[in-house]
Amino acid sequence: MIPKLIADARKIVFKFGSNTLADKDGRINPVFLEEFADQAAAFIKTGKQIVIVSSGAQVAGLSTMDKWARKRDLHYRQALCAVGQVELMGAWKRAFEKYGIHIAQILLTGDDFNDSIRTLNMRNTLFTLVDEGIIPIINENDTVSVEEIKIGDNDTLAAQSAILWSADLLVLFSDIDGLYNKNPKEHPDAELICEVRDIEAVKKNITIGNTNSFGTGGIVTKLEAAKRVIPYGISTIIANGGRPRVLEALAAGTQSGTAFLA
Ligand code: ADP
């Protein structure tokens, strides 16, 4: 099913979690970004269009301002994201530069999606960038995202962005191969669920465990993201961004994941 979903989709939103983007030391992994850029460039040559939702500002900030690691104060955390966002975009820029592809930064808050004029502006900007062959890279605007206006996790942001851009497919990359019947990090015998048609039904049959170090959303927000986009005809894939040449492998059917069918 996944190869068909990818083959049929022209407009794809890819979301990367911090765990996928960072290496073991908590630094943004340039080799990973390069490998994705290489595959994305090949996709674009075949006529596909791409939008990226990228976490990782805080992780990138921490490796730049390591003396702030213990600061828990909200303003320091926001400041850390402001520093890290530059590092993050620098890493993405270098990754795509080699292929002659420009990237653009879009920072959004929950409020932006509640305002029809802002929503229209965001939509028009997204369409313009993509039409011009530029890859928009979206993240939450942590500097202004106090609790009241926070989207809170990039799975939700990716879902909202996919709807806004009228995407055909949403791909959520994590550090696990997909949705399992129980947390694969705690249970080695957990079984991968390859296809989901009824999210509520599947939720009743699985257990959800703790998430890992950098992630904020966990598997629950991924399920909610899929549930949010499906009424708009957007199918969703959860896959392991850490697998070698994952995009090609998913498209070829040599790598499994979980497909939520719209
Ligand atoms: P990301 O940062 O990539 O968005 P998270 O770390 O927030 O991802 O969430 C994914 C994590 O959710 C996995 O690493 C896994 O340990 C955990 N998890 C808990 N229960 C499940 C489950 N039933 N199936 C898959 N993953 C699960």
Q: How confident is the model over 223-249, as pLDDT tens digits?
A: 999 999 999 999 999 999 999 999 999
Q: How far is CA 107 from the centre of its chain?
A: 14
Percent of the chain with pLDDT over 70: 97
Protein residue with least CA distance to atom 3, ligand 1: 174
Domain parsing of the chain, residue ranges: 2-260
Q: How far is the CA of 18 from the centre of ligand 1 (A)?
A: 12
Give the mean model confidence (pLDDT) for residues 47-60. 95
Q: CB–CB of 87/65 below 8 Å? A: no
Give the mean model confidence (pLDDT) for residues 14-31. 91
Task: Look at residue 215 in the predicted model and tell me its pLDDT.
Answer: 47
Give the mean model confidence (pLDDT) for residues 23-49. 95
Q: How far is the CA of 30 from the centre of ligand 1 (A)?
A: 23
Q: How far is the CA of 97 from the centre of ligand 1 (A)?
A: 31
Long-range contacts of 187-190 (CB under 8 A, 24+ apart): none
Task: Look at residue 31 in the predicted model and tell me its pLDDT.
Answer: 94
Give the mean model confidence (pLDDT) for residues 25-47. 95
Ligand 1 neighbourhood includes 215 CB (under 6 angstroms): yes
- pLDDT exceeds 60 at position 216: no
- pLDDT exceeds 70 at position 212: no
Protein residue with least CA distance to atom 18, ligand 1: 183
Percent of the chain with pLDDT over 90: 82
Q: Which fold has domain 2-260?
A: Carbamate kinase (3.40.1160)
Task: Look at residue 259 in the predicted model and tell me its pLDDT.
Answer: 98
What are the residues whose beta carbons fall under 8 Å from the beta carbon of 146, sequence distance 6 or more? 74
Phi then psi for 109, rounded to 5 degrees?
Answer: -125, 170
Give the mean model confidence (pLDDT) for residues 61-79. 89
Ligand 1 neighbourhood includes 92 CB (under 6 angstroms): no
Q: How far is the CA of 46 from the centre of ligand 1 (A)?
A: 32
pLDDT tens string 114-172: 999 999 999 999 999 999 999 999 999 988 887 777 887 899 999 999 999 999 999 99
Q: How far is CA 36 from CA 20, 30, 142, in A?
A: 11, 10, 25
Protein residue with least CA distance to atom 22, ligand 1: 183
Ligand 1 neighbourhood includes 219 CB (under 6 angstroms): yes
- pLDDT exceeds 80 at position 210: no
- pLDDT exceeds 80 at position 66: yes
**251 or 75, which is more confident?**
251
- On average, the pLDDT of the chain sits at 93
Give the mean model confidence (pLDDT) for residues 25-53. 96
- Tell how strand 235-240 and strand 258-260 pair up: antiparallel
From 122, 136, 46, 127, select the one nearest 92 (Cα to Cα): 136
pLDDT tier for residue 86 given thresholds of 50, 70 and 90: very high
Give the nearest ligand 1 atom to 20 CA. 3
Q: How far is the CA of 128 from the centre of ligand 1 (A)?
A: 34
Task: Look at residue 146 in the predicted model and tell me its pLDDT.
Answer: 76
pLDDT tier for residue 92 given thresholds of 50, 70 and 90: very high
